[in-house]
Amino acid sequence: MADSHAKHHDYHLVNPSPWPVVGSLSALVLAIGAVQYFHFETPWVMIIGLAGVLYTMLAWWRDVINEAHGGDHTPVVQLHHRYGMILFIASEVMFFVAWFWAYFDASLYPGEAIQAARTELTGGHWPPEGIETFDPWHLPLINTLVLLTSGTTVTWAHHALQHGDREGLKWGLVLTVALGGLFTIFQVYEYQHAAFGFSGHIYGATFFMATGFHGFHVVVGTVFLLVCLLRALAGHFTTQNHFGFEAAAWYWHFVDVVWLFLFVVIYILGAAPGAGAH
């Protein structure tokens, strides 16, 4: 009888889990709460939905970690995890292509875009008249250096793990998480001092959607790496089995590359004449 239930394959048949349903419902409550907050400024439904999403993340990650420690993540399963992560990052690339496309469409045909937006800003050039853009060689450049440095520190952590250097792994992750937090602080400061808003013109809408979603991904990646740091401090990951950390590193490098495109296209090429003189 025991032999009939023994595992004779390299695949992982996942046990029934409540987290897909709980996560979906929490995301629905979060979305409804966000719309309610935007219209009526009552945040409680949104907070409840956010708490549900965060709890789902915590519980689901816990279950996946337990599966890894239980030996369910065989080389075949890890290979499929890599395929899944590659497809996920590819879908994220398409997500950002949409925002870059919107920005290119508005900047290449500014007359039509500005007229279609029915804004008070006038002119057939980009950025529209009345928009005071950021100096790309000030805070945006600093943020670029911060994010590129974080890419080197996460690579250091990865190589340290591959060579069995636990201290290098921990300090590389500590520095990466700290730099990710610093990037977010600088971007919040930049938004607070923006000379234009989100609504009323196409430039603000495309700028804040592209950079804002990238900032959100930085926050998600920072949380991802923070979880890896906590796991490293708890003695998790080995030189042969560490896909959780590897996936986080892939995601972080993706965030780096997207920011380089944003910096060049929106901050440098999209800067108003004389923006660097302020």
- The CATH number that applies at residue 210 is 1.20.120.80
- Three-state SS string over the chain comes to CCHHHCCCCCCCCCCCCCHHHHHHHHHHHHHHHHHHHHHHCCCHHHHHHHHHHHHHHHHHHHHHHHHHHCCCCCHHHHHHHHHHHHHHHHHHHHHHHHHHHHHHHHHHCHHHHHHHHCCCCCCCCCCCCCCCCCCCCCHHHHHHHHHHHHHHHHHHHHHHHHCCCHHHHHHHHHHHHHHHHHHHHHHHHHHHCCCCCCCCCHHHHHHHHHHHHHHHHHHHHHHHHHHHHHHHHCCCCCCCCCHHHHHHHHHHHHHHHHHHHHHHHHHHHCCCCCHHHC
How many residues belong to the chain? 278
CA dist 205 and 209 (Å) reads 6
* Integer Cα distance of 163 and 149 in angstroms: 21
> Looking at the structure, do residues 157 and 245 belong to the same domain, yes or no?
yes
Residue 129, both tokens? 């008249």
- Cα–Cα distance, 158 to 178 (Å, whole number): 17
The pTM for the full model equals 0.86
Q: Is residue 103 within 8 Å of residue 159, measured between CB atoms?
A: no
Say whether both 34 and 162 belong to one domain.
no
Boundary residue ending a domain (14, 49, 72): 72
pLDDT in tens, 159-176: 999 999 999 999 999 999
Place of tokens 């250096």: 145
Tens digits of residue pLDDT in 20-30 = 999 999 999 99
pLDDT (tens digit per residue) in 76-92: 988 999 999 999 999 99
**In this predicted structure, which of 1-10, 124-133, 259-268 has the lowest mean pLDDT?**
1-10
The CATH number of the domain holding residue 39 is: 1.10.287.70
**2 φ, ψ (degrees, to nearest 5):** -65, -35
Residue 97 and residue 183 share a domain: yes
Is residue 247 located within the same domain as residue 210? yes
| pLDDT tens-digit readout, 225-261 | 999 999 999 999 988 888 999 999 999 999 999 999 9
* Higher-scoring residue by pLDDT: 121, 185: 185
Same domain, 164 and 80: yes
Token pair for 171:
């300090």
Assigned token pair, 194: 């923006």
Range of the domain at 31: 1-72
Residue 157's pLDDT is what?
97
What mean pLDDT value characterizes the chain?
A: 88
- % the chain with pLDDT above 70: 90
How many structural domains is the chain composed of? 2
Among 72, 99, 129, the domain boundary falls at: 72
